[in-house]
Structure 1
Amino acid sequence: MIDYNYSSKLTMLQNIIIFWKRRNISPLGKITVVKSMLLPLFTHLFIALPSPGVHILNQIHNCFYNFIWDDPLKIKHNILIKPYEEGGLNMIDIYSFEKSMKLTWIKKLALCTGKCFVLVYSLFDVKKMLNMGNAYVQKIVKRLTNTFWKDVLNYYSIYVNTFKICTFDDVLNMPLFYNDNFKIGMNCIYDKNMYERGIRLVRDILCTSGGFKTKNDIENYTGKVLNFLFYEGVKRTVSDFIKKSSFATVNKSNTTGVFFSSYLNVIVFKAKPNKSIYSTYTFNKEKPTCQNKWNEIFNNIDWKFVHNFVFENSRDTYIQWLQTRIVHRILGTKSLLYKMKIVNDNLCSFCKKHEETLTHLFWECEHIQPIINYIKYSMNLNNINFPNISCQDVLLGICSEKMTPINILFLEMKRYVFICKKHSKIPTVPGLKNSFQLAWEIQKHTICQGSEFPNWSVVRLLINEPIT
């Protein structure tokens, strides 16, 4: 059944890719095609059918990445799937996406009680599963034979294990029973009387002052005698977990109202739960290797700004992709191409004297310095107080909202220099002004909001465009 449903979609996927490969679009544009046209082919299958298995997901993954790069990967997969501010390009991770689609069923189980779920209720205790920790979910998975629901619960278990505790409320809303974080000895805690009387979350054993309820309080509430050693064990394991977390003190607990567990709060109440679930699956601490190399050259780099500013300040995908390649150090300079044995020498395309590195191409070259000097002179002439332009400013941008017009100026300058390199032409000041003029004429017809015009104020001054 799975192979039958996916085989036709895989054929359709390959045909769409062949069509789009005829167009000369950047990897950023290809990622947009992947997310808007290719991924939707499989969304309903991910939701409605059991997991297709690694072999089919690998085929989809390889098709996506072969389409984006054509050649070997230039940015690692773990980096590419990160958001812009972390150095990624918001590429989709098909493995995590498939898991997040399956978890839409958990929300339906939590909120719906229709006849369509009668079969599910006969397979396992849904209410207990939603109120217990990960150990109980695994207990159900071991005896389940239904492949579809086994996949759903397995993915829910992975989600629970990778869920990040961010606030003290998350701790309060953690399931108390069958939770791998709360153990007495080697066993997860569970008390049938407490559970049946509604004591299910950490907040249920805390009083309004923030301390633990006494043994007598819990016994009076449940109407049953509570084992002293069990009570002390629960107090100790919960206290130890709070101490290990970043929350040093226990805040006052709100014990009124109906609460879901921390994990279900995201799935049930978030406006876009799939996005949060997907982010949980894809989270990783890996950093782009380019950061280490740039840190050896420049100081005090704000990496969140460096990775993100081009996407916030420019809608031009050519400039976005150019700046991304500069930041990730994958732009085709002759220094890089020579190491890859694509060209015969590593000398600068303009001066033919020095190695063509990124810093040389956009700053140090004797043909680039007149352009930099012209920009400095024009700024001084127009009373723009920014005298100390550096190589770091040009290549990685200036971390300040007030400097957005200057950052756009540098982006347009780098576009002009790189186009000159591609066409084997020497960059000149008149050529730069013509490039700025063309960019502004295009921008005037593409800017949707008048509030964006001030960002182009410096470029307009340099081409003597009147500013009203």
Structure 2
Amino acid sequence: MLTFKLCVVPVTVSAKYLKQLIRILFRFLWGSKWERVKRTTLCASIEEGGAGMINVENYILALNLKWFQKLLDESVVANWKQIEAPYLRGQRVNAFLNATISLNRAEVKRVLPLRTLRHTLVSCIQTLNLLKTKSTKRTLWLNKKIKYQSKTFFMKPLIDSGVMLHKHLLTNEGEYETYDNLALKFNFQANNAEFIQFIKLVSSLPEQWDSENYIDPQTTQSEHLLNFIKDTNSVKTIYTKLQDSVARVPVKSQEFWKNKLFINFEMPWREVYINNFNSTIENRLRSFQIKLNLNAIVCNQILHSFGKIDSDLCTFCKNATENVYHVFYSCHVTRTRVPLTLPPVNLLFGVHNGGSGDKLVNCMLLCARYVIYQCKYSENKPTVFRFVCFLNSVRVSECHVSKKRGNFLAYRKKWCRLLCTEV
């Protein structure tokens, strides 16, 4: 229902409500108030090392941008466009997008009384800021540097005819055009009321603009925006583009594992992330591996530093400080009870041979890691029997899900080396 409302009418979502909604989502994700990874990292795609968590703010921006795209698209015919379209004729879109004052100010409301349209333009400006586009600093309209009696300027005839920038007021020699010559040059109807406003505008221009050389960006803000949202058939496409521009690759965790595991080669992190994710359809395993990728598994070393437990010693061996590397690899209890003779990088991140990897092998390694993780919190010793039982439960679960989804052949292809028949 909320998505439908935001799609049809771009209503304003209060900052307080949005903040509470995002907090609830991330508390549900972590199961506590303690967020161990930056939200921008978690909102990145699986391939980039994130969890594919929805970025609510960007999703709302995408909904508003899609609505704005329909508004500007002349091929889309709708009765509701007769209300908004007159306010965006000519170059008025550029005037609003290049504004250096808030679009919620009273002087803007006088020229743009529609609240939904103002909110959508604010979303467009937020998008341009996310994309870090370069806007002109010498726009004439709604510019806080150009004021007369504390009010900015917005002259519709000049805007509709294309007079947008300081350079448009100048002749080839760098002198200011007269009002009549400007009207002939840009083909608009001159009148006395606008002439008085023009005189006030020229007298309010900053003096340094006349002495400084400045080159305006070749691409306008509306062109930046239209290039961004063109050829997008859905809100999801726009949202994906926004996420690609703001998502952050977990460089810190990658460097941690590279140093901890003494990796002296170029680690194919993208393959590691996607292959481990695709090795199983069990969400608990996928969630666990994402936490491991981001070094977000909580061990006794961290809990002891927070004062939550009395000792930082390993739950299994009671001899060494417990951290992620120790629990899953260097602990002698783990290595003897779950004997996997693999290098630590393969034990923690699977086997990848420059392609999609071996799904069964990576799934088995992931199950082994998860069993060790479960035994740590239940304070039981990890054993081969526990691993086999858990692996079988994963196999049975995937069997039921694949039958329900009509994807049983993929299940057979993955598990055929362990099974001869499937009842």
Question: How many pairs does the alignment contain?
Answer: 335
| Rounded Cα–Cα distance in structure 2 between residues aligned with 1:54 and 1:78 | 18
What's 1:304 paired with? 270
AA at the equivalent of 1:428 = T
Q: Does 1:107 align with 2:73?
A: no
- TM-score w.r.t. structure 2 length? 0.67
Matches within 5 A, 1:112-261: 112-125=76-89, 128-129=91-92, 142=108, 143-163=111-131, 180=135, 261=223
What residue ranges of structure 1 are gaps of 5+ in the alignment? Answer: 1-39, 166-178, 198-223, 226-235, 243-259, 377-388
| Rounded Cα–Cα distance in structure 2 between residues aligned with 1:339 and 1:139 | 48
1:392 to 323, 333, 345: 345
Q: Does 1:54 align with 2:15?
A: yes
What's 1:353 paired with? 319
The two structures, once aligned, show a CA RMSD in angstroms of 3.8
CA contact (8 A) 1:266 1:273 kept: no
1:341 to 307, 317, 320: 307
Question: How high is the sequence identity, in percent, across the aligned residues?
Answer: 16
AA at the equivalent of 2:415 = W
Q: Does 1:434 align with 2:389?
A: yes
Q: Does 1:450 align with 2:409?
A: yes
Q: Judging changes above 3 Å, is the alpha-carbon distance between structure 1 residues 428 and 332 closer, same or farther for their aligned structure 2 residues? A: same
Give secondary structure in 2 for the equivalent of 1:84: coil
Q: Does 1:87 align with 2:87?
A: no
Give secondary structure in 2 for the equivalent of 1:368: helix
What residue ranges of structure 2 are gaps of 5+ in the alignment? Answer: 141-156, 163-184, 187-213
What's 1:362 paired with? 328
User: Which string of whole-angstrom CA distances, capped at 9 and with x for unpartnered residues, describes residues 220-268 of structure 1?
Assistant: xxxx99xxxxxxxxxx979x979xxxxxxxxxxxxxxxxx956435535
What's 1:404 paired with? 359
Q: Judging changes above 3 Å, is the alpha-carbon distance between structure 1 residues 128 and 364 closer, same or farther for their aligned structure 2 residues? A: same
Matches within 5 A, 1:19-58: 40-41=1-2, 43-45=4-6, 47-58=8-19
Q: Does 1:466 align with 2:396?
A: no
Q: Judging changes above 3 Å, is the alpha-carbon distance between structure 1 residues 350 and 279 closer, same or farther for their aligned structure 2 residues? A: same
Q: Which has the higher helix share?
A: 1
User: Which string of whole-angstrom CA distances, capped at 9 and with x for unpartnered residues, describes residues 256-303 of structure 1?
Assistant: xxxx95643553532224432464267326343322321221323222
Q: Does 1:73 align with 2:35?
A: yes
| Rounded Cα–Cα distance in structure 2 between residues aligned with 1:151 and 1:281 | 21
CA contact (8 A) 2:399 2:411 kept: no
Deviation at 1:313, TM superposition (A): 1.7
Deviation at 1:356, TM superposition (A): 1.9
| Rounded Cα–Cα distance in structure 1 between residues aligned with 2:420 and 2:368 | 20
| Rounded Cα–Cα distance in structure 2 between residues aligned with 1:51 and 1:91 | 23
- TM-score w.r.t. structure 1 length? 0.61
| Rounded Cα–Cα distance in structure 2 between residues aligned with 1:466 and 1:274 | 42
AA at the equivalent of 1:41 = L
What's 2:205 paired with? none
What's 2:192 paired with? none
Q: Does 1:418 align with 2:373?
A: yes
